Amino acid sequence: MSTHTSHPEIIKRLKRAEGHLRSTIAMLEDSRDCLAIAQQLQAVESAVGNAKKTLVHDHIDHCLEQAVRDAPQSAEETIREFKAITKYL
């Protein structure tokens, strides 16, 4: 695996999700209001979802595009990989 320019942004998003998740756990331990907990869980889900979306789009834009251009793998292999990664969108 190679590092892409989007990886620092993905790490930032995942760290944001980690912070929201820690807050959610603390809120549950403190018996906080369910609405506030649900809002925190939504923030976790959104941050993780955005990180995943960025990663998938980056893979399509760089890895698959390069595979098609440079032809190190067959077109069928590239299509299989494209189908596999888009399941996560």
Residue ranges of the domains in the chain?
Answer: 6-87
Is the pLDDT confidence value at 2 over 70? no
CATH architecture designation of domain 6-87:
Up-down Bundle (1.20)
The angle, 0 to 180 degrees and rounded to 10, between the axes of the packed helices 34-58 and 7-29 is 160
pTM, rounded to two decimals: 0.73
**Of the candidates 45, 62, 47, 60, which has an alpha carbon nearest to the alpha carbon of residue 9?**
47
Dist. CA 52–CA 40, nearest whole Å: 18
Contact 88, 56 (CB under 8 A): yes
Q: What is the pLDDT of residues 44-84, one digit of tens each?
A: 999 999 999 998 888 888 777 777 777 666 778 878 888 88
Residue 30: strand, helix, or coil: coil
CB 54 within 8 A of CB 9: yes
- For the record, the structure tokens of 52 come out as 């995943």
